[in-house]
Structure 1
Amino acid sequence: MVQYEWHKVQVFVAHGAYDPASITPLSEALQSAAEKHSRVVLDCAAVAFADSTFLNLLIGIHHTTDLRVVAPPAQLRRLLELTGADRVLKVQANLEDATA
């Protein structure tokens, strides 16, 4: 995971697979950022797999800060659609839209 600031917004770039065994570093980083910043952006373009653990993390962070999810790949987009989370979370096509 990579973290940086862009246009005064905290941006995280997630990559790889996320499940109960691998979610902890991302979870800790997002929770810490959510406590300090009014908006957090999560770039998901490089996420290879995400399960309900990842989805639960996104919803939890959404309740703490203005979370923007950027460029979810097909598998994650499908998970968001099937669960209705795409209607709750702010899903953006690109970083520019998410930080506007």
Structure 2
Amino acid sequence: MFLEEGVTDRPDEVRGAPLRIHDQAAVVQFEYGDAWVVSARGSYDMYSITPLAEALDTAAEAHRKVVLDASGITFGDSTLLNLLILTHHKADLRVAAPTQQVRRLLEITGADTLLKVRATVAEAAAC
């Protein structure tokens, strides 16, 4: 593979300068009524999805109703979308308070017609 001078094949480097791909991702979990809430913060792509994927997978195995609090997700790509659809097949997944970027991702792909998207965690847990 031939690369331009100064360009590497590492995803975190472009023309020799570090590239910040995503914000620090964090996941917090808690029970809310009869639902299990997974609250995600930060940016999610193929490099940062693992903690969220593990949390949603564990939640889907242990709880019938899972709510993803998406209010803190600053970026999500097809990796996040794929995770949501896979989780939807394992459990009753609800997406609560998605940010504008996440809402747009769901709308463009039509996933908003498949997933239960609600304005708040309380509303998502109640329905």
Partner of 2:90, secondary structure, is coil
* Corresponding residue for residue 98 of structure 1: 124
- 1:87 equivalent among 113, 117, 122: 113
Report how far residue 99 of structure 1 moved: 1.0
Residue type of the partner of 2:68? Answer: L
* Corresponding residue for residue 57 of structure 2: 31
Residue type of the partner of 2:75? Answer: F
Aligned ranges 1:40-59 → 2 under 5 Å? 40-59=66-85
* Corresponding residue for residue 15 of structure 2: none
- Gaps of at least 5 residues in structure 1 are none
Residue type of the partner of 1:53? Answer: T
Equivalent-residue separation in structure 2 for 1:8 and 1:38 (angstroms): 9
Sequence identity percentage: 57
* Corresponding residue for residue 87 of structure 2: 61
State the aligned residue count. 100
Normalising to structure 1: TM-score of the pair? 0.97
Residue type of the partner of 2:52? Answer: L
- 1:4 equivalent among 21, 30, 52: 30
Report how far residue 14 of structure 1 moved: 0.3
Which structure's residues are more often helix, by fraction? Answer: 1
Which structure exhibits the higher relative contact order, with contacts defined as CA atoms closer than 8 Å and separated by 6 or more residues? 1
Which of structure 1's runs of 4+ aligned residues deviate more than 3 A? none
Which has the higher Rg, Structure 1 or Structure 2?
Answer: 2
Normalising to structure 2: TM-score of the pair? 0.77
Report how far residue 16 of structure 1 moved: 0.3
* Corresponding residue for residue 77 of structure 1: 103
Equivalent-residue separation in structure 1 for 2:114 and 2:96 (angstroms): 14
CA RMSD of aligned residues (A): 0.6
Report how far residue 95 of structure 1 moved: 1.3
CA-to-aligned-CA distance 1:21-74 (integer Å, 9 cap, x gap): 000011011111101111000000010000000000000000000000001111
Partner of 1:72, secondary structure, is coil
